[in-house]
Amino acid sequence: MALEWSGSISNIFKLVLSIADYLEPADINAFARVDPTLYDLLCDCLYRHNLQHQNGSGLLQASKRGFERVVKRFLQLAKDDKTERTYEIFRSAMFVADGAKHRGVVKLLLRDRIEGDIRMAAYCSFLLVVDILLENNNDPTAKSQLYTQALSSAFCGAGFATIKHLLRMKIDIDTQDGEVLREALTNFNCAYWFLDPDLVKLLLDKIALLPNTPALDKIYGTLIVELSDQDQYSEPTLQRVLANPASTNAQNTCLLRQRHTTGVAGQLRKRLAQMN
């Protein structure tokens, strides 16, 4: 049963609020059994207590379950708290929401609290964060830069699934960023490509969109060398590489002739016969 308040209600509320920061969550929750109005008043104290003394465990659970209204409440209460510790709590919540695929929570945290680092997100395979950061940028030049940064970071640390996800994006790459992307592609460990024909196809499709330069020829030359050294090569992979004009320029034709006795000899001889 709710209490029959006597005296000045506002003064009573002020008194309760003045001691709320010294109460345990269980004590504050006990007020719910006494009076709903008082509980509503103290609810914000529960949120603040959770952030300050329990490392935002409530925020993390809300992010994991996709409770956007609860996350908004945490954001509102912490809007003036600029400490590094609180920032890290919210950033952890964003990663939890990303892992649980709660897009709405990730968008809330990116919009109201977190400065998105697309390099780190791609490196750690936080794909919702990457997607939202790219979607929120309407400047083609800036989007090209962000995309190139994400893909370069993914090549350095992410798994094939993340790299494939990024390669499937239909984002135009300008000439300057194309140089950075070519460098990332060239430095990527080509020895693994033959294991995943789908990844090779996506890479070649993306390479085909880049301006044709000597660096591009070098990528195909590297592919030819790596693939011809593999005994367990993927025939579709090799054919995709050899089908591109960049693989048949003078330099790479020479590579083919030099290596036709190793690895995938039959396929290379067949290709050479077609070229002659």
Pair of tokens at residue 224: 């030819």
pLDDT at 271: 55
Query: What are the residues whose beta carbons fall under 8 Å from the beta carbon of 185, sequence distance 6 or more?
Result: 155, 203, 206, 207, 219
Closest CA to 243 of 263, 230, 227: 227
pLDDT, the chain, mean: 75
In the predicted structure, residue 7 carries a pLDDT above the cut 60 = no
108-126 pLDDT, tens digit per residue, is 999 888 877 899 999 889 9
Question: What phi and psi, each to the nearest 5 degrees, are found at residue 2?
Answer: -70, 145
Half-sphere exposure of 72 (CA within 13 A, CB side): 4
**Structure confidence at residue 205 (pLDDT):** 76
Task: Give CA–CA dist 150/135, Å, rounded.
Answer: 13
Looking at residue 116, its pLDDT comes to 78
Q: Residue 257 above 50 pLDDT?
A: no
Q: Is 180 left (phi over 0), alpha (psi -120 to 50) or beta?
A: alpha
CB atoms within 10 A of CB 117: 16
Count CB-CB contacts under 10 A for residue 265: 12
Task: State yes or no: pLDDT of 241 exceeds 80.
Answer: no
The pLDDT assigned to 263 comes to 47
How far apart (Å, rounded) are the C-alpha atoms in residues 43 and 45?
Answer: 5
pLDDT computed for residue 163 by the predictor: 87
> Is residue 110 a contact partner of residue 133, using CB atoms and an 8 Å limit?
yes
pTM of the model: 0.69
The pLDDT-based confidence of 10 (bands split at 50, 70, 90) is low
Between 8 and 137, the more confident residue is 137
- Classify the C-alpha dihedral 101-115-173-142 as positive or negative: positive
What is the percentage of the chain residues whose pLDDT exceeds 90? 23
Mean pLDDT in residue range 178-205: 67
